[in-house]
Amino acid sequence: MRLLQSRRLQLLLSVALLLFTVQVLFRLIFFFGFADFSDNEAAGFGVLVKAWWIGLRFDARLAILLTMPLLLLMVPKWHLLEKRWAQRVVAGYVLLTVLFLSLFNVFDLGHYAYLGIRMDSTVVRFFDDIAISASMVWESYPVIWITLGVTLLCAITFRLVSALVGRVFSVPGEKLGKWSVAWRCALVFTVAFWTTIGRLSDVPLRWNNAFFTGDPEIGALGLNPMLYFYETMDFSEANYDLEQVKAHYEAVADYLGLEGAARDAAKPNFLRRIEADPQAPFASMERPPNIVFVMLESLGASRVSAYGNPLKTTPVLDDIAENGWFFEHFYVPVSGTAKTVWASITGLPDVSTVKTATRNPLIAHQRTIINAFTDHEKYYFLGGSAGWANMRALIKASIDGLHLYEEGSYTEPRVDVWGISDLSLFREADKVLREIPREKPFFAIVQTAANHRPFTLPEDKGDFVPDSPDAQALYQAGFKSAEQYNAVRFLDYNVGEFFKMAKAGGYFDNTVFVFYGDHNNRITITPHMAEFYEKLDLDGLHVPHMIYAPKLLQPQVVEEAVSLVDVLPTVAGLFGVPYDYSGLGRDVSKHPQGQERYVFTQTADKRHPVIGVIGKQWMLRMQSDGGNAKLHEIYSDDPEADYSAQYPEKAARLRELAKGLYETSHFLHYDNVEETPGAGQ
C-alpha cells in the first residue's frame, strides 16, 4: 500500500497498534483471570461479544490519544525524526507509556479483585495511610511476579520500538506531492477522529455504553480502566457536608415523617419502609393497571392553556387536566432534562455542582420506587440516544429488568439531532406495548424531545396543521416564534394520537397515564401567569403535571405545592405497593389536611445556586450558604417583598427546611446508591 510507504504514518500506525495490543492483553487477563460470568444469567454469548466490542473501541480511543503527542516530532518542515535524538525520544516515550499503562492496569486488576469494581478516583482514599495500604498490597498480591511480568513486557516493548524506529528510518522515504500529502492526512485524520469518537453518531462512545445491560460485571468488562478513571476525576470527593446534614436532620426528618428506628440524627438515616396498603385504590385489583409516564420536553406550565395560556395551544392536555388529577402548583426541583430524568427516577433533586448527577459514574446505581412494581414489565422509550448526559447508566443500572428502546431500535426515520419525531416515538412505543400479553401489566416511560430547538416538524405529521398567529399574539402568549408555538401544539397533538393508538391497542382503559414537563424553555413574557413566577425566577421550574385514568380515577384539582420527586411516591400510593425508600418525595394523598405543603427549588448558577422552598402561599429563597434569606408571599401585590420581619418564626422554619433539603440532597446522591453485587467480597 502506498499509504504505508510514508515513514511518519507507518510509525504512527505501528505505535498506535502496539499500545492497543498492550491494552487488549490486559483485557484478556481481566476476562480470563478476574471476571467470573459462570453464574451470571445476563452474560450470554452475544452480550459478552458486545461488551468486548465496546471495550475494544475504548482501547482504540486511548491508543490514538496516547499516540498523538508524537505528532510534535513529525512536522515535515523540521524533519526532526531524521535525527537520532528524536528517534530515541520516540522509543523512550513509547516505553514509558507502556510502563504506565501496565502499572495502571495492574492496580486496576488488584482493585477489582479486592472490591469487585473497576478503579475510580476514590482510590485516593488508600493514600490516607500509605504504609498500611502498601503492607496490604505486599501481603495480598504476588508483587515480585507482577514486577517481573511488567519488566518483561517493557523490555519486549523497548526492543520492538527500537527495531521499528531503526527499520522505518533505515530506508529513504517516498517523496510525496501536495495532493498526496493532503489525501493521506485527511484519511488518517478521519480514521483517528472516528476511532476517538468511538461510534458513527453525534453522541460519542461514553462510559455508560458499557452498562448497556445494567449488570455491573458486564459493565466492568466493557470499560477501559484508564479512561474510566479519568471520567471519575470530577467526582473524586463525595460532594456533601455530613456535619450540615446532621445539623438540619431534625427538620428534614419532620418533613419526611420519619419515625422510630428510621430516625437517627447521630448517623443520618433516611431509609424508611413504606408498607403495603390494602386500602389503596388499585390494591385489590387482581390484575393491576399499566403505568405510562410521559415526560413532556421543555413544556412549562405557561405554555399550556389549562394554566391560562391565551392561545388554544394544548386542547388534549386541557382535557386531561379537566378529567384527571390536575396539579396547579407543580415544580421540578432544578431545571434541565437530565436533572429531571434523575429526579423522576431517584426521588432526589439534582443539586450536583459538577455537570449533572447522571454523569457521575460513582452514583449511577440508585434505589428507585419503580422496582417496587414487581408485577410490571419495565420499558423506557426515547427517540434519540440514552447516552446523552450518560442517562443510560442511571436508567439501566437502577431499573431492574428494563427494556430500553433508543436510537437504533426503531424503524421510523430520524428527523433531527434528537432522533425520531415524537409522533414516531409514540408509534414505536405502541407497537411494543400492544404486543405485551394482556395478563402482564407494564410500566413504561416515554421521553419526548421534539419541543426543543430546532423545533422540527417532520414530513410525516399525521393530520396536524401548523398555525401562524400574528407576532403580537405570540408575544403575549410567551412564544418567541411560530415554530416554538407549533412545537407545543404538535406535542399536544402527539399525546392525542398516542391515546388513539392505546385505545386501538386495547390498553387505554386499564392504564394510568402520568404527564409532567421537564422544564420550561426560554420565554418572553407571561402576562397570563401570576406575577411571582417571573419575579421569583420560577418560570423554568413551574411545569404541567396530570395523572389521567378516566376509567379508574375521579377528577380532582390539587392546589398544594407538589414536586417532581413526589410523583413516584404518589403513584405507588395508588397501587399500595410496599417499598424501601430514602428519597425526598412524599405521597400527595397522605398529606395532612389544612397543613401547607412545601417543596424544594433551586435556580441560578449551579456554583452559586439560589435555593428555597415554596408552598401554595409562601416561598423562602436564599443563597445556598444561607445568606440573603427572604420570605415572600407569592400571590401578594408585591411578591418580591420580604416578610421575614413580620413572620420571623415561619421564616426561620422554612430557612432551616430549605438548607436541610439542599444539604440532604447532596448526601443522598451517595447514600441512596445501591451496593454493587460482589463489592467488598
Examine the pLDDT at 81 and tell me if it is beyond 70.
Answer: no
In 324-456, which ranges are continuous DSSP H helix? 337-346, 391-398, 422-433
pLDDT, position 655: 97
Residue 489's H or E segment, with its range, is: helix 482-505
Which range has highest mean pLDDT (13-17, 103-107, 665-669)?
A: 665-669
| Amino acid code (one letter) for 287 | R
> What pLDDT, in 10s, does the model give residues 440-475?
999 999 999 988 888 889 999 999 999 989 999 998
Residue 133's H or E segment, with its range, is: helix 130-140
Q: Cell for 476?
A: 403575549
CA atoms within a 13 Å half-sphere pointing along the CA-CB vector of 49: 3
With contact defined as beta carbons under 8 Å apart, do 543 and 304 qualify?
Answer: no
- Show Cβ contacts of residue 652 under 8 Å, excluding neighbours closer than 6 positions: none
Bridging pattern class, strands 511-517 and 290-296:
parallel
Structural domains in the chain, sorted by start: 3-234 (no CATH), 238-273+591-681 (no CATH), 274-575 (3.40.720.10)
Q: Which of 312, 358, 316 is nearest to 337 (CA)?
A: 358
3-state helix, strand, coil in the chain (%, to 5): 50, 10, 40
> What pLDDT, in 10s, does the model give residues 549-589?
999 999 999 999 999 999 999 999 999 999 999 999 999 99
Q: Cell for 126?
A: 488508600
Examine the pLDDT at 177 and tell me if it is beyond 90.
Answer: no
How many whole angstroms separate alpha carbon 189 and alpha carbon 183?
A: 10
Examine the pLDDT at 525 and tell me if it is beyond 90.
Answer: no
Q: Could you tell me which residue, 472 or 678, shows the higher pLDDT? A: 472
pLDDT, position 4: 38
How many whole angstroms separate alpha carbon 58 and alpha carbon 220?
A: 12
CA distances from 139 to 124, 134, 135, 143, 179 (A): 20, 9, 6, 9, 61
Average pLDDT over residues 218-230: 87
What are the phi and psi torsion angles at 55 (to 5°)? -60, -40
pLDDT, position 113: 75
pLDDT, position 85: 73
Examine the pLDDT at 226 and tell me if it is beyond 50.
Answer: yes
Task: Compute the CA torsion angle 508, 519, 625, 234 (nearest 10 deg).
Answer: 90
Examine the pLDDT at 141 and tell me if it is beyond 70.
Answer: no
Average pLDDT over residues 266-281: 93
pLDDT, position 295: 98
With contact defined as beta carbons under 8 Å apart, do 383 and 418 qualify?
Answer: yes
How many whole angstroms separate alpha carbon 572 and alpha carbon 581?
A: 11
How many whole angstroms separate alpha carbon 471 and alpha carbon 476?
A: 9
Examine the pLDDT at 142 and tell me if it is beyond 60.
Answer: yes
Examine the pLDDT at 137 and tell me if it is beyond 60.
Answer: no
Say which range, 33-37, 73-77, 436-440, has the weakest mean pLDDT.
73-77
What are the phi and psi torsion angles at 4 (to 5°)? -80, -5
**Look-up: residue for cell 432551616?**
656
Q: Which of 10, 30, 226 is nearest to 109 (CA)?
A: 30
Residue 580's H or E segment, with its range, is: strand 579-581
CA 95 vs. chain centroid, Å, equals 38
Q: What percent of the chain clears pLDDT 70, i.e. is strictly above it? A: 86
User: Helix, strand, or coil here: 163?
Assistant: helix
Grade residue 305 by pLDDT with cuts at 50, 70 and 90: very high
CA atoms within a 13 Å half-sphere pointing along the CA-CB vector of 424: 25
Examine the pLDDT at 303 and tell me if it is beyond 50.
Answer: yes
Q: Cell for 188?
A: 488518517
Average of per-residue pLDDT values in the chain: 86
> What pLDDT, in 10s, does the model give residues 477-511?
989 899 999 999 999 999 999 999 999 999 999 99
Burial readout 104-118 (b: 16 or more C-beta within 10 A, e: otherwise): ebbbbbbbbebbbbb
Taken in order 280, 284, 289, 291, the sign of the CA dihedral is positive
Grade residue 167 by pLDDT with cuts at 50, 70 and 90: low
Sheet with strand 403-405: strands edge to edge: 403-405, 377-382, 442-447, 290-296, 511-517, 545-548, 325-331, 556-563
pLDDT, position 172: 54
Examine the pLDDT at 127 and tell me if it is beyond 50.
Answer: no
- Show Cβ contacts of residue 254 under 8 Å, excluding neighbours closer than 6 positions: none
- Show Cβ contacts of residue 191 under 8 Å, excluding neighbours closer than 6 positions: none
Q: Which of 623, 628, 599, 594 is nearest to 611 (CA)?
A: 623
Residue 545's H or E segment, with its range, is: strand 545-548
With contact defined as beta carbons under 8 Å apart, do 402 and 378 qualify?
Answer: yes
Q: Cell for 252?
A: 428534614
Grade residue 80 by pLDDT with cuts at 50, 70 and 90: low
pLDDT, position 123: 61
Q: Cell for 300?
A: 412549562
How many whole angstroms separate alpha carbon 536 and alpha carbon 612?
A: 10
Average pLDDT over residues 341-370: 91
Q: Residue 262's CB: how many other CB atoms inside 10 A?
A: 15
